[in-house]
Amino acid sequence: MNIIRSFATKAVKTSFQDVVIIGGGPAGLTILSAIKTSPKLKHLKCTLVEGQSLEPVQKFYDNPPENYTNKIVSLTPKSIDIMTNKIGNWEFINQDRIKNYDGIIAYDSQDASSRIEFDINLIGKESLATMCEVINIQSSLYKKLQTLKEEGVEDITILDNTKVNEIENPIITEQDLENHDLNQIDPTLEKPNLDWPIVKLNNGEQLQTRLLIGADGYNSPVRKYAQIESRGWAYNRFGVVACIKLQYEDFRSVGWQRFLTTGPLAILPLTEDNATIVWSSTPELSELLLKVNDQIFPHLVTAAMVLEEVDLNYIYSVLQENPNDFSVLQDIEWRLSKFDARTLDENYPLPVVELIPNTRARFPLKMSHADTYVAPRVALVGDAAHTIHPLAGQGLNMGQSDAFALIEALEKGMDRGMDLGSTLVLEDYVSNAWPANHALLGVCDKLHKIFSTDFYPLVFVRGLGMKGLNMFDEVKSLMMKTISGR
Ligand SMILES: Cc1cc2nc3c(=O)[nH]c(=O)nc-3n(C[C@H](O)[C@H](O)[C@H](O)COP(=O)(O)OP(=O)(O)OC[C@H]3O[C@@H](n4cnc5c(N)ncnc54)[C@H](O)[C@@H]3O)c2cc1C
């Protein structure tokens, strides 16, 4: 723990809190809503600090934009269950903008016959997962918090447009810490000398808190403050996202994923003829995908779901020369015409016909996992604790499970009359959440590595693996249960 001398607190306005959450992304708003919904924790004095404006989040509930926004995630039934039964924000989700889907068809670019089809009928459930915009989730949580306030739940403060500049520990020496009985907390002290972290805001104010929750994303200032090591690697890949329109609404309601050697390309269904893509690709290809002409881009996506990689590389090279070269459209059409129409209909997603304007963006992909999620008076949740390759759509879902596990630990601590910032309480959270996250991170990392190669022996073995797996319903159903968080 970082021990920093700090008695500069006298002149500055300090507000004492039970819980300060840094980050108003899905993880932070989930934690705040979960605390304020819990009968055992709702009395806690909580403040959430978010660097950006939450106005778009607030407006979304009454005035959602006409088109889909581009941060769209696949939610597992487990996450939806948490939002429905534990937090209660699911009732505020804009249901017209979510889409359940029933299966995933994944196939290998090196051998189209190597495919695995996950069908919901195998596990006898209503849906495999649900596509939902991140802002829809945030907005439902925000609305839930507003409703709780209206119902009389107190001490919910959200400070947006407010950045945390610095976090300090007020303890002077480690010996001082030993001499304090941390259960004897007196927040009325003018110059608090306990070990409650001091969060310094860019508006000049500061918060001193019993428990500091870092829901502050990959670069987490809270994780740095707590000196928790995070290990992992960058994939040297970017996830290019975009919203698109298909030729017509697909009655199949499945997600498609093609494993290209540059990374997987997924097309996931939204309502009506809308869909979203996540195209994991090299830095060079992702740059090209962002600058290709808006009218060419949809056809490029169709081509990338069907054509041989050697053909795709040729098309990329033409577009590298000129991203507005419309001659590639005839070229793509000609190459696709070599496929039997029925094969295209049955084995591939529908053609993409339109790119929704201004929805293309790219995000660097990395795998990272914090050594632990807790330190004295600190807990990490969501991307602050882990980031994962998006190929299995698990990142935000892991954050939801973190929130659930942390709330359970805090409720247990409250039942036992313990100090909620103590590691004794928080350790329960780590032991429940960390191992499951670690296993999932490992699986997705290996899948990325196995599929991003054109090394023939490995391509051959993975082809056998996919074909073989496709024949074993029990194994597939186990994988589906894992994917859907059951
Ligand atoms: C291409 C792509 C596709 C994905 N697809 C899926 C999917 O299908 N399913 C899925 O489950 N997940 C998916 N994910 C992952 C998912 O988007 C993330 O895991 C999730 O959004 C992280 O939420 P978070 O709240 O933990 O962090 P963030 O959304 O990063 O929120 C952190 C917040 O902290 C704030 N903050 C940071 N520092 C400070 C500071 N100093 N002061 C104040 N505020 C601060 C930031 O402004 C930010 O709002 C995908 C990710 C990518 C890149």
Residue nearest to atom 9 of ligand 1 (CA): 393
Distance 26 CA to ligand 1 centre (A): 7
Residue 456 is predicted with a pLDDT of 54
> Per residue in 317-345, pLDDT tens?
999 999 999 999 999 999 999 999 998 99
Q: For ligand 1, atom 49, name the residue with the nearest CA.
A: 25
Cα-to-centroid distance, 222 and ligand 1 (Å): 15
**Cα of 217 to ligand 1 centre, how many Å?**
6
Q: Is the Cα torsion angle 461, 240, 321, 326 positive or negative in sign? A: positive
The Å distance, Cα 276 to ligand 1 centre, comes to 18
Residue 240 Cα to ligand 1 middle (Å): 15
Q: How remote is the CA of residue 32 from the centroid of ligand 1, in Å?
A: 16
Question: Which strand (E) or helix (H) includes residue 201?
Answer: strand 198-201
Tens digits of pLDDT across the chain (486 residues): 343 344 444 467 889 999 999 999 999 999 999 999 999 999 999 999 999 999 999 999 999 999 999 999 999 999 999 999 999 999 999 999 999 998 888 888 777 667 777 766 666 667 889 999 999 999 999 999 999 999 999 999 999 999 999 999 886 555 665 666 655 555 555 445 578 999 999 999 999 999 999 999 999 999 999 999 999 988 899 999 999 999 999 888 899 989 888 888 999 999 999 999 999 999 999 999 999 999 999 999 999 999 999 999 999 999 999 999 999 999 999 999 999 999 899 899 999 999 999 999 999 999 999 999 999 999 999 999 999 988 777 899 999 999 999 999 999 999 999 999 999 999 999 999 999 999 889 877 777 666 655 555 555 555 555 555 555 555 555 555 665 665
pLDDT at 440: 86
Which stretches of 284-399 are assigned E, i.e. beta strand?
352-355, 361-370, 374-375, 378-380, 386-387
Q: Distance from the CA of 287 to the center of ligand 1, in angstroms?
A: 22
Question: What's the gap in Å between 419 CA and the centre of ligand 1?
Answer: 29
| Dist. CA 117–CA 466, nearest whole Å | 9
Q: Which of 30, 216, 243, 394 to mutate to test the pocket of ligand 1 (most atoms within 8 A of CB)?
A: 216
For ligand 1, mutation pick of 73, 133, 135, 158 (most atoms within 8 Å of CB):
73
Enter the DSSP assignment of 388. Answer: -
> Which residues have a Cβ under 8 Å from the Cβ of 74 and sit 6 or more positions away?
129, 130, 131, 255, 268, 393, 397
At residue 32's C-alpha, the angle toward residues 158 and 276, to 5°, is: 95
Amino acid code (one letter) for 82: I
**Cα 30 to Cα 131: distance, rounded to the nearest angstrom:** 18
From atom 51 of ligand 1, which residue's Cα is the shortest distance away?
390
Closest by CA position to 462, among listed 272, 259, 292, 322: 259
SS3 179: helix
Q: Which residues line ligand 1 (CB under 6 A)?
A: 22-28, 49-52, 73-74, 134, 163-164, 215-217, 221, 239, 241, 278, 363, 382-383, 390, 393-397, 399
* Type and span of the H or E element at 430: helix 423-451
Domains by residue range for the chain, with CATH: 14-67+76-95+135-229+371-444 (3.50.50.60), 235-363 (3.30.9.10)
| Residue with CA nearest ligand 1 atom 33 | 23
